[in-house]
Amino acid sequence: MPKLHIDDIDVNYQEAGHGPPLVFLHGLGGSSEDWEQQIPYFATRYRVLAPDFRGFGGTPAGGRRLSIARLAADTGAFVDAMGLSRFRLVGHSMGGAVALQYALTHPGKIERLVIANSVPSFRPQSARHYLEFLYRLAVMGVLGPAKLAEISAMRQFPEPQHEPLRAKLIARGARNTRATYLAALASLGRWSVIERLHELKMPVLVAASQHDYFGHDETVKFAHALPRGRLHLFKGAHHGLPLEQPDAFNAVLERFLRGAGPVPHQDTVA
């Protein structure tokens, strides 16, 4: 895959297709490989770009302090270097946090925004939230990336037919380092843009899963706080929505990205 030098790192990324630019941002512990079901699908109509965040996939960690703001700044440097003046942006999980942060900093550059399996604040607010963070800290800190990847794979893809997906997630997650993963997790735990959601004037799709780590009430509040927000709930899906239900996800995403249908608040089931 090609690399692009920005700041103090060489960003590993994927690029495919021609047309209006469409950028995908992966989640915590993942890489651009997680968009394997989206890149070829959307490359028939868009110029698709999917970078690896610093410290993940094929991009080195560099010497900067890792934070959501830093990853958003890296994303900005990447899209500027690729010559994108306006584009559509899709973020999954931690990538959704980075996408929100970037959109708030550069609202004029985003035509449409998609936030999948993510929320506008990762600061723990409930026992459930604290347990989620503590479990990840404990498993990664004590048992390491391979064990955390194994547990996460089972949680994201629990059905028997998901075994190939679990194998991929385990292999990819085992490549992570403790230091980078824990730094990213800590930065997420400090991050919130809840009070700024009213600033996002572009159409925003919140793609939520029925069995995600986040409660349905959280995603409903998120969508309703957006001036032009739309919520789509995917029945039966877990946290790895783009890989678990690629056909349904791609269809909903495609319709939203091309501006088909209304953009008001909507709570639907795929």
Q: What is the dihedral of CA 90, 140, 6, 201, to 10 degrees?
A: 30
Residue 263 pLDDT more than 90?
no
Please return the burial class of 61, using the count of CB atoms within 10 Å of its CB with bins 0-12, 13-18 and 19+: middle
Contacts of 72 (CB under 8 A, 6+ apart): 98, 101, 102, 105
**pLDDT per residue over 150-200, tens digit each?**
999 999 999 999 999 999 999 999 999 999 999 999 999 999 999 999 999
> Quick one: which of 265, 267, 263, 226 has its CA closest to 99?
226
pLDDT score, position 267: 52
Domain 3-124+191-269: assigned CATH number: 3.40.50.1820
For residues 121 and 4, what is the distance between their CA atoms, to the nearest angstrom? Answer: 30
Lowest mean pLDDT segment, chosen from 18-27, 202-211, 218-227, 260-269:
260-269
> Can you list the positions of beta strands (E) in 121-235?
204-209, 229-234
Lowest mean pLDDT segment, chosen from 14-23, 67-76, 255-264:
255-264
Instruction: Assign 265 a pLDDT band (cuts: 50, 70, 90).
Output: very low
**Rounded mean pLDDT, 75-88:** 98
Lowest mean pLDDT segment, chosen from 37-46, 139-148, 225-234:
139-148
Where exactly are the structural domains of the chain?
Answer: 3-124+191-269
CA geometry: angle 194, 259, 106, nearest 5 deg: 40
- Per-chain mean pLDDT for the chain: 93
pLDDT score, position 154: 93
Residue 94 pLDDT more than 80?
yes
Instruction: Assign 270 a pLDDT band (cuts: 50, 70, 90).
Output: very low
pLDDT score, position 260: 67
**pLDDT per residue over 188-223, tens digit each?**
999 999 999 999 999 999 999 999 988 899 999 999
Instruction: Assign 224 a pLDDT band (cuts: 50, 70, 90).
Output: very high
β-sheet bridge partners, residue 90:
24, 114
For residues 268 and 255, what is the distance between their CA atoms, to the nearest angstrom? Answer: 14
pTM assigned to the model: 0.94
